[in-house]
Chains A and B, each alone.
Chain A
């Protein structure tokens, strides 16, 4: 019940395309859902986060869609660029700093 399932494991997208990464959770106590981006040799960096009281949040080319009834949330990267090539992690927490992370998606954007 504490797991966050993330898919796909890897993703290849053409430059300018849309990248979509999905996550699903079971624990309805989760109330904070962040996405992190990690480049090789670096720690994860917070991209965007959402609370369950909204269904969508957009920041620049990054959008989180949240479906509370289905217990799913997804990251959409519009107009994907080669510089977006990185590993993306979704996470969930229930009011503490004990985050449960998804297993990660390795995104490669082709030039």
Chain B
């Protein structure tokens, strides 16, 4: 059974640019969440999608957005990149109800220069 797949693994972008990250959840999982991981702030929740609808949202500016497709694959977009957006972006999926049990991908390491 394939795990959660995130692409690309590494990305270098310039300040002011925008970026799109992709996540393919485990087959059959309908919930996909995104987290930002930095040494200073740890793991911070960005948003969660279920059946193409955003169910939960964290405390990030509107520059961070996401979407989910009918096949449960998800993308997140960051516009007008800032240096502070440099982080590991993790996607997690779950097939269970009520928030129990994530499986994380290996993440996309974004560096903003």
Contacts and interface: CB of A to CB of B under 8 A. Distances in A.
B25 interface: no
A44 B33 contact: no
Interface string A100-111: 111110000000
Given A43-B4, A89-B43, A97 B106 contact: no
B56 A98 contact: yes
A34 B102 CA distance: 9
Interface residues of A, number: 24
Contact of A46 (B56, B102, B105, B106): B102
A41 B41 CA distance: 18
Interface in B83-105: 90, 92, 94, 98-105
Contact of B104 (A32, A43, A100): A43
Interface of B: 4, 31, 33, 35, 42-45, 48, 55-56, 58, 90, 92, 94, 98-107
27 contacts: A32-B99, A34-B101, A36-B104, A41-B106, A42-B106, A43-B4, A43-B104, A43-B105, A44-B102, A44-B104, A46-B103, A49-B100, A89-B42, A89-B43, A93-B99, A95-B99, A96-B48, A97-B31, A97-B48, A97-B94, A98-B48, A98-B56, A99-B43, A99-B45, A100-B45, A101-B35, A103-B42
